[in-house]
Amino acid sequence: MFKAQVIIKRRHSILDPQGTAVEKGAKHLGLTNIKNTRIGKYIEFEILTDNLQEAEKEVNEYCQKLLSNPIMEDYEFSIFEIKKD
């Protein structure tokens, strides 16, 4: 069995008004060195197979077809084996 940890990032060419708004909070906190705040998503899940290649294929398909929208987002993931409980 494997576990995947996926990070979805908004493309740099696309404005992130949410990140900009959050960064205003940083200014109010007095954190003057914070710049270019951008908000993405973190998703983790398990894959019920012992075959790494198969697991990676499914993670890629999940990311491409559902978890991210390729028009506005990029994704990256790490995958590692876990022991069954």
| Binding residues for another protein (CB under 8 A) | 14-15, 17-18, 21, 66-67, 69, 71-72
Give least dist CB 68 to another protein, A.
Answer: 9
Give least dist CB 67 to another protein, A.
Answer: 7
Taking CB atoms within 8 Å and a gap of at least 24, the contacts of 56-59 are 59/4, 59/6
Pick between residue 10 and residue 55 the one whose CB is nearest to another protein: 10
Pick between residue 22 and residue 79 the one whose CB is nearest to another protein: 22
